[in-house]
Structure 1
Amino acid sequence: MPDAVDTAPTITPDTIAAFRARLDGHPVYGAVATVEDLRTFMRHHVYSVWDFMSLIKTLQAAVAPAGVPWLPPAGPIDADVQRFINELVLEEETDEAETPGHFTSHVALYLRAMEEVGADTGPVTAFLETVRARGIRDALETADIPAPSRAFTTTTFDIIGTGRPHEVAAALALGREHIIPGMFRAILARTGIGPADAPTFHGYLNRHIHLDEDFHAPMSLKLLAA
């Protein structure tokens, strides 16, 4: 019997750049024109802010395991990659807060930004409590979350559930770190909501543009190649 032919498409830098260009021009960025628009956007987007932590925690467990007794990874792992994923977790879980000398997670910061503009945090809070009590799959099936957010988060956990670190690394590098700066810049450029109306939201976006573009995106590709 002849060998099976691999029909998977080849992904090149040009392929990635083409998808990024399409994302950068997505009409949703220009749709955030009023405070009510922003509330709607944030009620959807908060789930991707939250599930990002599960992506990076999965990768941290793969390249910088925390078991006891501690053992070095079974295979060769670049120490730069280990440091990157540990720093990424540190920033996402305990980043510098607006008040000097204080720290907060990006999820907590985003929830505060939602409250600042009057976006309802009840559904996502209830979702997280369902995750805590019954697990992610039950929460995705039963919680009252927007359908697009449900589909997005389901995909995230389907990727995590493969148990393949390289697929999780691809989701992080190509699905998050390399597209977030352009996406957030587009929102800031086109939104009708200024920093005076949503200071925490603007601060959150600008912080991610800086971190992801200057540090996370280049290192995430190194992680993907590890």
Structure 2
Amino acid sequence: MSGAFDSSSLEPLRAKLVGHPVFRSVTTLPRLRLFMEYHVYPVWDFMSLLKSLQQTFAPHGSPWLPDGDDDIRRFVNEIVTEEESDLALPGGDAEYISHFNMYRQSMSEIGADLGGINDFINCVAADGLAGGLAKREVPEPARRFMQSTFDVIASGEPHRMAAAFALGREDIVPGMFKALLAQMKITEADAPTFHYYLTRHTHLDEESHGPMALRMLARLCDGDARREEETLATAAAALQARIDFWDGVNDAISGG
């Protein structure tokens, strides 16, 4: 995919995210446990955003029809493959693992409580998204963040979904995860799977997913001023939702 998308107007929000105090608040294993018990929900709803993009650009079903943009289809299918079945931590029992299951595995490794997220997933499977979001056990910052993601999905507009995905996730994750790795006081020996998750995500998003996602945005907007404006507005809202989420996490783990 050729072209690029100018998102320089979002730089103040990106800087606020990368410099968020939550990353230096993760100073002990109990604090990391609480951090992960909140953060696991955005890890999950990322997959719903991604799968919505896949359904838009590479829909499943038979008979298959040769419609759509081949380059975008390749990008979306490639990232789905890596998110749903990436290389597992070397030396473990599995060769491949989804990033969501890797995150849950890393939670189990440090003794974080999986009850909340597992109950949420079971509730979504049985009663749908609304039932899951209504569960009292879901932390309020996570509930608000997921609702913002699903509001974008509900729009059904490809350029808005791609904006939330590319600029609200793939483009910003490397900076956030690098900041967390640099500032948190939890060593790789204390949380090996979590460290692997952070470094693996950073590598994939920096080297391939992020740049490809920005080119996808450029293609979807195709110089249309209205779509470009909506894309930037959606991205800004996604970044602000993440800032608000981190504010809530930081208050929880800092006792504020």
Same fold (TM over 0.5): yes
Q: CA deviation at 1:143?
A: 4.7
Amino acid of the structure 1 residue aligned with 2:59: P
Residue number in structure 2 paired with 1:6: none
CA contact (8 A) 1:130 1:139 kept: yes
Please say if residues 94 and 103 of structure 1, whose CA atoms lie closer than 8 Å, have aligned partners that are also in contact: yes
Asked if 1:158 corresponds to 2:137, the answer is no
What corresponds to 2:24 in structure 1? 30
Q: Is the 8 A contact 1:56 1:89 kept in 2?
A: yes
Aligned counterpart for 1:90 among listed residues 65, 81, 85 = 81
Conserved in 2, the CA contact under 8 Å of 1:81 and 1:222? Answer: no
Offset from partner CA, 1:184-222 (integer Å, 9 cap, x none): 000000000000000000000000110001101101112
* Cα offset, 1:13, TM superposition: 2.7
Q: How many residues align?
A: 213
**Residue in 2 aligned with 1:120?**
113
1:181 and 1:212 in contact (8 A); partners too: yes
- Give the TM-score, by structure 1 length: 0.91
The one-letter code matched in structure 1 to 2:162 is A
Q: 2:36 aligns with which of 30, 39, 42?
A: 42
Contact 1:35 1:193 in 2 (8 A): yes
- CA positional deviation for 1:99: 4.0
Listed as ranges, the gaps of 5+ residues in structure 1 are: 1-10
Amino acid at match of 1:139: G
What is the percentage of aligned positions where both structures have the same residue?
Answer: 50
Q: What displacement does 1:142 show?
A: 2.4
Structure with the larger helix share: 2
Cα distance between partner residues in 2 of 1:209 and 1:168: 21
Q: Which has the higher contact order (CA 8 A, sep 6+)?
A: 2
Deviation (angstroms), 1:12 = 5.5
Residue 52 (1) aligns with residue 46 (2): yes
Aligned: 1:216 with 2:216: no
Residue of structure 2 in register with 1:181 after alignment: 174
For structure 2, list consecutive stretches of 5 or more residues without a partner in the other structure. 221-256
Residue 206 of structure 1 is aligned with which of 199, 213, 218? 199
- Alignment RMSD (CA, Å): 1.4
Q: Deviations over 1:95-118 (max 9, x none)?
A: 111247711111110000001111
Residue 129 of structure 1 corresponds to 122
Distance 1:205 1:198 in 2: 11
The list of structure 1 runs, each at least 4 consecutive aligned residues, that deviate by more than 6 angstroms after superposition, is none
C-alpha separation in 2, matches of 1:165 and 1:94: 25
